[in-house]
Amino acid sequence: MSSSLIQSFIEEANSRSADFPLNNLPFGVFSEKSRPKKKFSCTAIGDKVFNLSLAEELGLISDLGFSKVLLNSFMEKGKKVRQSLRHQIQEILSENSSKKDIALNCIIPMEDCIHSMPFEIGEYTDFYSCKNHALNASKIIRGEDAGLSPNWYSLPVAYNGRKSSVVISGSDIKRPRGQIPDKETGLVAYKKTEKLDFELELGTVIGKPLEWSRTSDYRESEDLIFGFVLLNDWSARDIQSWEYQPLGPFLSKAFGTTISPWVISPEALEDFKLNPPKREIPLLPHFEDEKSYVFDINLSVKLIEDDGTETSLAKTNAKELYYSPVQQILHHSSSGSGMSVGDLLGSGTISGIEKRSRGCFLELSWGGAEPVELASGKKRSFIEDNDTVILSGVSQSEHYSIGFGDCVGKIIP
């Protein structure tokens, strides 16, 4: 049974299709367009933002570190503090709020605001947790009969990425250069990628540190999570295929990773937990697979051409992840690597079974063999200059929605 929609005095938050009802309450860092330098921590309510830095200053909510603006100091206070703040905000913004008059001072139309990076990224790791994607990628790279390497069914494969190139939604991404061999002659040149791709992913944000050399069980790994964002792991496939052997991707995925502006809390997604897909081979006991869950989040990808023509490229769901976010953390900490506040874990590209449910161009165009037809009639195998890619996510129950907001990036020459 899913919870009911919690009614707010902000009317726009009270419909089943609203992205930001009182059931959601994501965390972000914004500024007003009229005062772009004065950033504040906030949450979203309907089509408005609620300024948490000001609410703290006015004594509306407890002192939780929002004067520092970036969310890290609040994040590390942990789950209980986050849950208690959630209840405070639900009361302050409820339809029968006794604090409505003061609360109104902290409310700003979202359209008058600019979003910025919500927290300082610790380190960035990218997984490869979706079986449909991994299997398709194997077939495209190694031929129709290729399967997954045996380790794939035993652990969530990953590589360590760069925090230096993680950017907020709306940032332009410059087409990267790299080493690319010529197919006919084999001569290698340093040039612009011709196979620029997006990757539709769910990002997990770590809110609590785990000491170096310690490992964590399922419950502790779960408690390390502060929330979730949409993540576009931009990839240059021609650079990737030359550089990745034998240690994995490097520069082909280090030139830009875009995240969405709102961090969605685990509490907001409580009603959307599902069992993970059927296991090919049972996972080792330390994965505590009997406890694992994935989330029912409808995901979509849209491409906008330079002239504004929009095409829906793909629709899929985060429930396709074979390894859950908690299991990604469990694996990450299993050798004693340690985790820090602000660490970001990408899930890996999320793809469904159907052709138009695939979360990257590599799969959608089958490596370029089957270009995708856009609404304009033009064809695309990979992203061209001035194309904009928009990832969106929303969980919907019979009573309410939990929107993620958009994760937007434009490719510039």
Nearer to Mn ion, 53 or 129 (CB): 129
Please identify, using beta-carbon distances, which residue of 233 and 243 lies nearer to Mn ion. 233
Nearest residue to 252 (alpha-carbon basis) of 139, 176, 324, 201: 176
Nearer to Mn ion, 126 or 320 (CB): 126
Q: What is the DSSP letter of 321?
A: B
Collect all residues with Cβ–Cβ distance below 8 Å to 142 and sequence separation of at least 6: none
Known active-site residue 115: no
Q: Containing H/E element for 380?
A: strand 379-380
Residue 373's H or E segment, with its range, is strand 372-373
Q: Closer CB to Mn ion, residue 82 or residue 331?
A: 331
Secondary element (H or E) of residue 229:
strand 225-233
Q: Report the b/e string of 123-143 with b at 16+ CB within 10 A.
A: bbbbbbbbbbbbbbbbbbeee
Q: List beta partners, residue 242.
A: none
Cα dist from 12 to 18, 109, 112, 304, 400, whole Å: 7, 11, 16, 27, 12
Pick from 170, 166, 128: nearest CA to 149: 128
Contact between residue 306 and residue 178 where contact means Cβ atoms under 8 Å apart: no
Q: SS3 of 400, please?
A: coil
Q: Among residues 221 and 235, whose Cβ is nearest to Mn ion?
A: 235
Nearest distance in Å: CB 346, Mn ion: 5
CB-wise, 199 or 343, nearer to Mn ion? 199
Backbone angles phi, psi at 212, to 5 degrees: -55, 140
* Half-sphere exposure at residue 27, Cβ-oriented, CA atoms within 13 angstroms: 26
To Mn ion, the closest distance from the beta carbon of 282 in angstroms equals 26
Please, is 233 exposed, middle or buried when counting C-beta atoms within 10 Å of its C-beta (0-12, 13-18, 19+)? buried
Bridge partner residues of 27 (DSSP): 263
Residue 197 CB, nearest distance to Mn ion (Å)? 10
- The site for Mn ion (CB under 5 A) is made up of 126, 199, 233
- Per annotation, catalytic residue among 115, 133, 331, 332: 133
Closest residue to Mn ion using C-beta atoms: 233
Kind of pairing between the strands at 177-181 and 379-380: unpaired
- Closest to 226 in 3D by CA, of 341, 94, 397, 381: 341
Omega before residue 282 within 30° of 0, cis: no
Which sequence positions are flagged as catalytic? 133
